[in-house]
Amino acid sequence: MGKTTAEKIFDAHLVNEPFPGTKVLRLDAVLCHEITTPIAIDDLIRRGKDRVFDPTKIKAVIDHVTPSKDTKTATQAKILRDWARRHDIKDFFDIGANGVCHALVPERGFIRPGYTVIMGDSHTCTHGAFGAFAAGIGTTDLEVGILKGVCAFRQPKTIKFNVTGTLPKGVYAKDVILHIIGKIGVNGATDRVMEFHGSTIDNMTMESRMTLCNMAIEAGGTSGICQPDMTTVDYLWPFIQGDFAGKEAALADYSQWRADADAEYDQTIEIDVTVMEPTVTFGYKPDQVKTISEIAGTPLDQIYIGSCTNGRIEDLRIAAQILKGHKLAPNVRGILSPATPKIQQQAMHEGLIDIFMEAGFCVTNPTCGACLGMSNGVLAEGEVCASTTNRNFMGRMGKGGMVHLMSPATAAASAIEGKIADPRKYL
């Protein structure tokens, strides 16, 4: 019997099975940010165990509130910064070099096919785009990960999504994942890995695959996983060219992590993208989705483009393409948070920042900020935001605020019209 990608990764990283059904895995990457890590650091100090298992496998970034907005957030940043220095964690990203973790970490080439990755952040599933097993965990699991380089998991079952067809105009990875979440529900993949296959995924860029895997958690999924292929190798090539004779050799090596043809799945779900429309959430749960035709016209107060879901260069390019020559409607304000400094610089070089600013957008530094209502774009009571982020929970972007999740294209069209709008007429 063949294996799924997650099964292969579990087998290759198994330390032991302390109890039936629980597998302790060796970790290849432990990612840390300033919101969930400081309490783990404090606890390790309190226990007299202020150690790290391997400083080269720990990557740390200040990203949720940066630059710090008050004494408390400055203290969180300081605890992480001091800890990274104390333990000689070289891959630590502070102000000037920092960005949204799930965009920054892949951009630096830290994630490879077959890796096990944890972070005290639910959107860690993003990194499965590289053919890795990447799972969000809490602070206690993070603490053990930092100390011992291991994490315990139940062996997850895998749902195979066979996604086929050419994406219609105005439909992107964000629309595909919103559609999938709408179909299976917010707990449709709990304790499951969501393994993405099919011609649509094969033709997606790494950025789009990250958008797709990023929202696996919104269906309860442990990790999203895409199959490593030449697109993966091309993306990683600047970081791995010293390790392989050529790209074909890298592909041959990484292909060991592809699921076997006879792997056994909990469920296989066929997704035909050719019938999809731009998709938008309407309620307070990510599975409450409507097509653009059903929801266009909904009034808005704010447009937010950014986050680990859709703050990458391809997202900015799509939004700028639509915004070019247009202004924000007078009833809305627009905020752009490029996800990393590299993306921000690239967007400047390509003239995208000019397009956003000429449209009337405020361009912030890279940070998670507004996505979770912490800084840089919090909503007031009763306000409505068109957002390229990942969560529309009640109050998520500010107490009493409402969030409609959508693609950067739909957000850009909505910025022009001041209400939820169909991007296809601008493409």
Partner 1 sequence: MKTFGGPVLFLDRSDINTDEIIPAKYLTEITKEDLKPYILEDLKLPGFDPNGPKTKNARVIVSRANFGCGSSREHAPWVFEVNGITAVIAESFARIFRQNMFNCGMAAIELPKADLDQIFTHAGHDDAAMSIDIEAGTLTMSGGGKNKTFSFEISPFDKALVLAGGWVDFADQKY
CA angle, corner 66, sides to 65 and 71, nearest 5?
70
Exposed / middle / buried, residue 186 (Cβ in 10 Å: 0-12, 13-18, 19+)? middle
- In angstroms, the Cα distances linking 192 to 153, 236, 273, 283, 411 are 11, 27, 22, 25, 30
Among 150, 173, 193, 316, binds partner 1 (CB under 8 A): 150
- In angstroms, the Cα distances linking 245 to 55, 108, 131, 250 are 28, 21, 21, 8
Q: How far apart are CA 243 and CA 237, in angstroms?
A: 10
Q: Taking CB under 8 A as the rule, does residue 120 contact partner 1?
A: yes
Q: Taking CB under 8 A as the rule, does residue 279 contact partner 1?
A: no
Task: Tell me the two tokens of residue 325.
Answer: 């020559």
Among 3, 12, 39, 298, binds partner 1 (CB under 8 A): 39
CB proximity list for 332: less than 8 A, separation 6 or greater: 300, 301, 302, 303, 414, 415, 418
Residues 282-341 that bind partner 1 (CB under 8 A): 285
**Shortest distance (Å) from residue 56 CB to partner 1:** 19
Among 132, 372, 384, 402, binds partner 1 (CB under 8 A): 372
Q: How far apart are CA 199 and CA 213, in angstroms?
A: 16
Among 37, 222, 307, 340, binds partner 1 (CB under 8 A): 222
**Quick one: 42 or 358, whose CB is closer to partner 1?**
42
Residue 133 near residue 27 (C-beta atoms within 8 A): no
Q: How does 195-212 read in b/e, with b if 16+ C-beta sit within 10 Å?
A: bbbbebbeebbbbbbbbb
Residues 47-76 that bind partner 1 (CB under 8 A): 47, 49, 64-65, 70, 72-73, 75-76
**Shortest distance (Å) from residue 138 CB to partner 1:** 4
Among 313, 316, 374, 402, binds partner 1 (CB under 8 A): 374
Among 15, 230, 240, 269, binds partner 1 (CB under 8 A): 15
**Quick one: 8 or 23, whose CB is closer to partner 1?**
23
**Shortest distance (Å) from residue 32 CB to partner 1:** 12
Give the 3-state secondary structure of residue 77. Answer: helix
Question: Would you state the torsion angle of the CA atoms of residues 116, 118, 123, 125, taken in this order, to the nearest 10 degrees?
Answer: 10
Q: How far apart are CA 289 and CA 178, in angstroms?
A: 7
**Shortest distance (Å) from residue 222 CB to partner 1:** 6
Q: Taking CB under 8 A as the rule, does residue 240 contact partner 1?
A: no
**DSSP summary character for residue 218:** G
Among 105, 137, 332, 415, binds partner 1 (CB under 8 A): 137
Among 104, 111, 117, 144, binds partner 1 (CB under 8 A): 144
Binding span for partner 1 by CB under 8 A among 237-245, 304-312, 357-365, 388-396: 388-396
CB proximity list for 20: less than 8 A, separation 6 or greater: none
Number of residues that bind partner 1 (CB under 8 A): 57
Residues 156-215 that bind partner 1 (CB under 8 A): 186-187, 190-191
Q: How far apart are CA 99 and CA 314, in angstroms?
A: 16
Contacts with partner 1, residue ranges (CB under 8 A): 15, 18-22, 24, 35-36, 38-39, 42-43, 47, 49, 64-65, 70, 72-73, 75-76, 79, 119-122, 124, 136-141, 143-144, 147-148, 150, 152, 154, 186-187, 190-191, 220, 222, 285, 372-374, 391, 393-396, 399
